[in-house]
Amino acid sequence: MPFPRLLSRSPARPAVLARRLAALALLAAGAGLAHADILIGQTTAVTGPVAASVGETLLGVHAYLDSVNAQGGVNGEKIKLITLDDNFKPPRAAENAAKLIEQENVVALFMSRGTPHTEAILPLLAKYKLALIAPSTGAMVFHQPVNPYVFNVRSSYQAEAQRAIEHLFQITLQRVAVVHADDSFGADCAEGAKKGFAKLQKEPVAVIKAAREKPDYAPIIGQLQSTNAQAAL
């Protein structure tokens, strides 16, 4: 049976995310899904450029799930998180999500990492009517319009970037630059920064793009120095 549609309300503390995962597992158990375990799927960058932060977060997630399972799980069923490595590559994230849904029969996906990576799995959520809990991205595309299968637990990148720009000027800095990744994540953050500048009727001293795969910051530092920037977001 399809998983119940949930209304949407990334990253928060691991224990907070894990509690939401446990709540989802309770719904899955109540839906009468016939699994020896409650299977939750995850595609994330176990290896690759963000592996360190992913690994740290997973330690917290598994610590909480181990605690829940040690107390009998949810309605007597243990929660099992199946994590597949996408090496921080969007096409592999989509492949992993399809495998988790079609072969592993997970009841939901959890905590994907990266904006283009999470965008790549959205069609699968709609196709299989499956929920994605706590994506580790604040991209606006996951907030507006509201997606009934995406459950955000963090604010949007645009809201964060806008507030950061406002704060820099509040502490009397006047020459502020923006450096962003040359991808959908970076463009989203840059849009939020742009709103912050516009609200204050200010302009950035520079807007610089950095390659997502292999950023070279040496020339970027030189560009920032040439603008006499006091801060860079």
Domains of the chain from N-terminus onward: 14-151 (3.40.50.2300), 157-232 (3.40.50.2300)
Whole-model pTM: value is 0.71
pLDDT value of residue 11:
46
The DSSP string of 171-193 is: TT---EEEEEESSHHHHHHHHHH
- The 3-state DSSP class for residue 108 equals strand
DSSP 141: G
Sheet holding 231-232, edge to edge: 206-210, 176-181, 231-232
Q: Which residue stretches of 71-106 are H helix? A: 90-102
Report how far residue 116's alpha carbon sits from residue 184's, in angstroms, rounded to the nearest whole number. Answer: 6
pLDDT value of residue 14:
55
Tens digits of pLDDT across the chain (233 residues): 333 333 333 444 555 555 666 566 555 555 445 557 999 999 999 999 999 999 999 999 999 999 999 999 999 999 999 999 999 999 999 999 999 999 999 999 999 999 889 999 999 999 999 999 999 999 898 999 999 999 999 899 999 999 999 999 999 999 999 999 998 889 999 999 999 999 999 999 999 999 977 778 899 999 999 999 999 99
Q: Is the peptide bond before 145 cis (omega within 30 degrees of 0)?
A: yes
pLDDT value of residue 36:
76
Report how far residue 156's alpha carbon sits from residue 139's, in angstroms, rounded to the nearest whole number. Answer: 6
pLDDT value of residue 4:
35
